[in-house]
Structure 1
Amino acid sequence: MSASDSHTLTGPNGETQVVSQNIVFHEGVTQQQRELLVGQKGVTVWFTGLSGSGKSTLACALELELLEKGKRAFRLDGDNVRFGLNKDLGFSPKDREENIRRVGEVAKLVASSATTTLTAFISPYLADRQLARTIHEESKIPFIEVYVDAPLEEVEKRDPKGLYKKARAGIIKEFTGISAPYEAPSAPELHIKTAETDIQGGVKQIVEYLTKNNLI
């Protein structure tokens, strides 16, 4: 791309972005038109929490619940996304940041199709989750943060993938909760403690919230 074909913009984190002058954003069906025709609003429900806290299990159960109710729902899962879209990323802080940035953009696109989009990602950093929220807010798409909370001793006890054991042994480096930080949400829309409530109870809380706020 030559200099004459591009210009620079300042990104949300102060970074410089080079954008081609030869691309144009094409408007088509508006968000309002789509939601009216489909009969459903677009929204992203963002699950965050430690590995083993129950994010994916809760998201799967909620997806099924919504589909059974005749609602459009689609789930993006942390592990699944790294098989394709983000397979080039590792687990360094910078790669985690890019992982969540991409997921935020994809979630926004799916939600803009008048679909309840569910994302289950550790997403350990406050700034990265705020960026995902901002991406949605700029497109006027609701962003619901669900903090799936379980104590470290509880998730280590569960350890469904054996990851905590490997992290404690030093086999896995930069593992959230052990050798890398997890910055818990200070004001999530929903706070579900999976050591105190079962999956169906968690699903009920989310469905009630979405219904109360006219999001499904």
Structure 2
Amino acid sequence: MNTKVFHNLSYGVYIISSLDGERPTGCTANSVMQITSSPATLALSMNHDNFTNSCIEKTGKFAVSILSETSDPSLIGQFGFQSGRDVNKFENILFETKEGLPVLTDSCGYIICKVIDKMETSTHTVFLGEVIDGDIQSVSPSMTYAYYHRVIKGKSPKNAPTYLPEEESENTIPSKTSWVCSICGYVYDEEAPFEELPDSYTCPICKQPKSKFVKQ
């Protein structure tokens, strides 16, 4: 099977949030879709290893913050490449509370859902959520996963439902040397040589230091 066909499916980029007790937490996701319009229902796919999964299980509800093309790209790394078990992902993040759940202000809209059913797969839980609230926060175009890869130059974490291992082709023509973030996969391609960047440089996606970049 040619797994590259999955790249032709369309996805958005979202921050899924819930609560760990009274503490807000969340993660980056791309597999959210509307299932029905009346009553409005969403489906959310969440990896078993994601801390947010267990929080949704306990609270029975989740929020979807829809990132836009103008949203700060570091939000994707803040919520996608570290665990809410270990860090407070909402530290220094602007958010407001809707129906008891945190939603990001730097988004083009939010949707609040209560879980009404779920289905387990070998690696992911698919939550069905009935929409109980939602609103538009900006007119900026919503960010697609294609935009994230093409423009922001990010990659999929291994917990993502859409993750596919990179394949090496025998016919690949050697390209110029690139510096790649070993945490989130961001490829540095600015005009200034990477070696000349100050040691204070951080990845624009996951905010990891320059030392986390590797030459490829």
TM-score by shorter chain over 0.5: no
TM-score (norm 2): 0.24
Point out which structure has higher relative CO (alpha carbons under 8 A, 6+ apart).
Answer: 1
Q: Taking structure 1 as the reference length, what is the TM-score of the superposition?
A: 0.24
Q: Which has the higher strand share?
A: 2
Q: Which protein has the bigger helix share?
A: 1
